[in-house]
Amino acid sequence: MAVTVDQINLWRQVRSEDQILEFKEAKTQYDNEKLYKYCVAIANEGGGHIVLGIKDKPLPRPIVGTSAFNDLVGMAQKLFNELGFRVNIEEVLHPEGRVLVFHVPSRPIGTAYQRKGAYLMRSGEELVPMTEDVLRKIFAEGAPDWLEEKSKIGLEAREIVDLLDTQKFFELLELSYPDNQKAVIEKLLHERLIDEQNGVYAIRRIGALLLAKDLTNFEDVSRKRLRLVVYEGESKMFTKLDETFEQGYAIGYQNIVRFIMGQLPQNEAIKDALRVETSLVQEIVVRELMANAMIHQDFQIGGASPMVEVYENRIEFSNPGEPIVPTDRFIDGYQSRNERVADLMRRMHICEEKGSGIDKVVLSVEVSQLPPPIFKSSHRRSEVIVLGFKEFEAMDREERMRAAYQHCCLRYVMRKDMTNQSLRERFRLPDSKSSSISQVINQAIEAQLIRLDEAVGASKKMSRYLPFWG
């Protein structure tokens, strides 16, 4: 379908360059090698469009026109010769200037494209090599899903009920427990947690992972058990507790949360002129981050499991697999690595599957006046670190800027404005500290974490701010 002027105008309004659009000014020319690399990256991300002759900022994106690539047929042939796949090019004569649209197809299933040995993807404004985690997922496409493979076979119906906590399963789904075993088995079959063939049954790995009474009964799943380690002090030097939970994720979830909460250090706070003890973090933080670690792990990585580590001054959550959403977009972005696990745990009221879990964590952190959480991607693992209470004066420059960015993101997804006042309230600071907050805001702008909302105008008093991607 030909791209129309109206379509160009719609693309100019999108809030940020997303997975299918890449805007380049290219008034007079555009480097061929850069174009080849962007085509490879966008194809690896599922295909999309590169648009020349339009600036990326501000909204609506200005059309500057381009005189690059006058021989479109010849350029299309060059692209095919260099890349090995066809990229169609279309010229749109917009009233404000000439625009070129490169239609980049998606890579084939199970294949990743490369340019001069580099498998490329986009990361913000840059093109970067794909991580090992992403490549492994691509190459595994079309192969059997690890979760859907059978863990135990040749079972009778009574053995299914012995191995899986079906009573708790129905309770979590808010369903009455059937008065006969046949109906229980039919529900498990319907949910594709077990299979039946020739009168005998098999339990899928996903069924064991979520519902097992004891995961050690399932050899290929037992290494995925959640592990809790509690340390004395602020380092790994002395271990106070090392516990591995045997129950399946869904049926054991509530008990695991309660157990972890019981291991957290207590902070002293003043409330209504009385000293009261509070946990290092609120329960909602443990609930959401533990569910995230369970759901978003990469099950293809062997010998690794979700982990919760408790220190005197912080709690850390980690899971196998580098994140598929960039860490600086955890608050507003959502993509489940394991959709079936996410769907089942949502219906069992363990997670919401709508990307609000991290929002709740950041909101709880702000209410509790904690330093901003740290979202990290390390070698083949994703990590979230939540720190204990710290006064504004005790936070370092990086913590204050990170708090400003996360507050800005949270306000943005809540359809509210971040202002000097809202950030002061986040830190529980009086009006007299307005200049200190202005300094934090300016530092965050310089670090390109947030930006001034240009729609408001130049008035300092009315200034409001957006995340860098907003």
pLDDT score for 14: 79
Rounded Cα–Cα distance for residues 437 and 442 (Å): 9
CA 80, 82, 83, 84 torsion: positive or negative?
A: positive
Looking at residue 274, what is its pLDDT? 54
pLDDT for residue 276: 59
For residue 19, the model assigns a pLDDT of 53
Report CA 332 to chain centroid distance, whole Å: 9
Could you give all domains of the chain from N- to C-terminal order, each with its CATH number?
5-132 (3.30.950.30), 146-221 (no CATH), 225-387 (3.30.565.60), 394-467 (1.10.10)
The residue ranges of the chain whose pLDDT is under 70 are 1, 15-19, 267-277, 334, 352-355, 456-461
pLDDT at 421: 94
| pLDDT for residue 300 | 86
Residue 8 carries which side chain, given as an amino acid letter?
Answer: I
CB 53 within 8 A of CB 99: yes
Segment 188-242, tens digit of pLDDT:
999 999 999 999 999 999 999 999 999 999 999 999 999 999 999 999 999 999 9
